[in-house]
Amino acid sequence: MKKILLFILSICLLTTTAECSVYNGNVSKEGSIDGTHRIVDADTNQPIGGAEINIPQKKFSTKTNQNGMFNLKADISGDTIMSVKKDGYKPFSLTINEQIASRPITVGIEKSSPRDIQIESSLYHLGDNSFSELSANAGEFKVQSAGPSYTKQFLIKSTNGNSNLVIGSIIGIDTKMARSMGQNKIVYAYSSPPEVFFNGTKIAEIQLNGDGQRIKIPNNLIKQNKLNEVTIKTGRNMAQTSYIDYDDIEFINLYIESN
């Protein structure tokens, strides 16, 4: 049986009971015989050729061969985001480090649904470009901040009422919870969590860095056959200061998933 490396992430949904759910994503430790990595279809386990692999912070890009294999010829130190894209499949991203990259890994990606909506596929940096080197993932920030918030409009033609907003990967969060989990090393301060809004209503707070974070979109907020809007606001330093200090975070592969 394949051993599974679990990437555990947590997202606290805004419910009346302040419910906090834990989600698991999986990446197999088994790889190809020659030690390279590979991309396969999550359902059939068949190799996927021509899948694009990107590590934006390292400006690294490659594609899988006909056997779904690829090498990571990048200087990886610390946590960094690896993104996988292939036509007909949902975008996938994974936070890796030198230990993970040094072992053969197999990533299974899922076929997309006609109802899925790609909102953002690029790496996006929110904040003020002012952060401590002890901040989570500070050494990986290479993209200039676009400001403290991100907003995008998109058309939803139809939905069956079971839709999730998916954040492929998010790093840099300096909340108190992230500190307690060892995701950053700042001991003297922490930030409020990033907030997620859908059509102006707050639907989630993100407490931890992680991959494949799925946020349930309340049915009553979805506008059928109209433009809808998603906004992500980064957190603020909770220490008493004479100025607003925004938490610097980065995310990639934002999309709507409808089942």
Look at the alpha carbons of 89, 161, 15, 250 in this order and tell me if their dihedral is positive or negative. positive
Within a domain: residue 134? yes
Same domain, 80 and 134: no
* Terminal Cα-to-Cα distance of the chain (whole angstroms): 29
Please answer whether residues 62 and 71 qualify as being in contact, where contact means their C-beta atoms are separated by less than 8 angstroms: yes
CATH number at residue 99: 2.60.40.1120
Phi-psi region of 187 (alpha: psi -120 to 50; beta: other; left: phi over 0): alpha
Q: DSSP per residue over 64-125, as a string?
A: --TTSEE---S---S-EEEEEE-TTB--EEEEE-HHHHTS--EEEEPBPPTT-EEEE-S-EE
pTM of the model: 0.81
Same domain, 86 and 138: no
Within a domain: residue 19? no
How crowded is residue 186: how many other Cβ atoms within 10 Å of its Cβ? 18
pLDDT in tens, the chain (259 residues): 333 333 333 333 333 233 322 222 334 434 333 448 999 999 999 999 999 999 988 889 999 999 999 998 888 877 889 999 999 999 999 998 888 888 888 999 999 988 899 999 999 999 987 766 656 555 566 667 889 999 999 999 877 778 999 999 998 898 888 888 877 767 677 889 999 999 999 999 999 999 999 999 999 999 999 999 999 999 998 776 667 889 999 999 999 998 7
CATH number at residue 163: 2.60.120
Same domain, 253 and 138: yes
Within a domain: residue 196? yes
Half-sphere exposure of 121 (CA within 13 A, CB side): 13
Within a domain: residue 144? yes
